[in-house]
Amino acid sequence: MKDDLEKIIAKALKAKTEPPRGRRPEPLKRKVLAMIFEKPSLRTRVSFEVAAAQLGGSAIYIGPDEVQMGKRESVADVAKVLSGYADVIMYRAFSNEVMHELAKHAAVPVVNGLDDLEHPCQCAADLMTVMERKQKLKGLQLAYVGDGNNVCNSLLLGCAVVGMNMRAATPKSHAPNADILSNARSIAEENGCVVEAMSNPFDAVEGADVIYTDTWVSMGQEEEREERESMFLPYQVNAKLVERAGKDWMFLHCLPAHRGLEVSEEVIDGPQSLVFTQAENRLHVQKAILAAVV
């Protein structure tokens, strides 16, 4: 697991420096990526589609109305049909359970483009961005502030795997997944780092090298907007909070961002923010992932 993640990050960093089209490797030449989207996305769709093209392949977008996974057609049938057409499947899903069912029945690799439990491709791009800026991962301190969602869950696992310390500050009612936290703690112990869950954001960011937040209202949670915005207000990443950070701290956000809610304008648009480098790095991580699975 550690070797796999570190290889993906190293390949992504190398991919970022590779020459223009015509002189770069094309491991996806004459290969097809099928992209199933139950949730819309700017970064996931464009980064995977461009990645496939830059690696010499092609990508097909399959929207939510075209599949209706498990309703119009069984998950197993979708997996078997697409396995006959495509060389790789990328799935952006509502359910982690359905993600695993698709992978179980597919005869080609399935890449998790996001589900309700994890967002592994985003985590790889996040760690790549930290490595690019800090030139190391092991021993650094990442503070995640906000909702203990899929991004937070993947960061707990990813940081533990690479030996990076992490504190996740969330309301107790919106803590990260308990099983993932337990797993991350076991992995962290093996790799000489510590991952923690807490409720005080000021404690979380104390001396942090990286401060990370995400939207308070994810897709499918719109009915909870008013309640969530009120609950999470003490977790806004703003000038007062980041005073506790380390000397050369950096700010990350997986986007889309809502200025004035989870993050203040002065932080996300300030000199410590690497959110657009982070977004660009999704492309290079997708290239590394696709090249590794074909």
**Residue 54 token pair:** 């830059």
Marked catalytic residue, from 119, 167, 253, 284: 119
**Residue 115 token pair:** 């589900």
23 catalytic per annotation = no
Half-sphere exposure of 69 (CA within 13 A, CB side): 24
| Distance, CA of 262 to CA of 169 (rounded, Å) | 13
135 catalytic per annotation = no
Marked catalytic residue, from 92, 167, 228, 253: 92
185 catalytic per annotation = no
Marked catalytic residue, from 45, 228, 253, 282: 282
Q: Report how far apart the first and last C-alpha atoms of the chain are (Å, whole number).
A: 18
C-alpha of 284 from chain center:
13
Marked catalytic residue, from 121, 152, 193, 254: 254
221 catalytic per annotation = no
45 catalytic per annotation = no
Marked catalytic residue, from 54, 116, 214, 236: 214
Sheet arrangement for strand 32-37: 58-62, 32-37, 88-92, 110-114
> Closest Cα partner for 132 from 205, 210, 25, 208?
210
Element (H, E) at 196: strand 195-198
214 catalytic per annotation = yes
Marked catalytic residue, from 87, 115, 121, 122: 122
- DSSP code for 173: G
Q: What is the dihedral of CA 73, 74, 78, 79, to 10 degrees?
A: 180
* Active-site amino acid positions: 92, 119, 122, 214, 254, 282
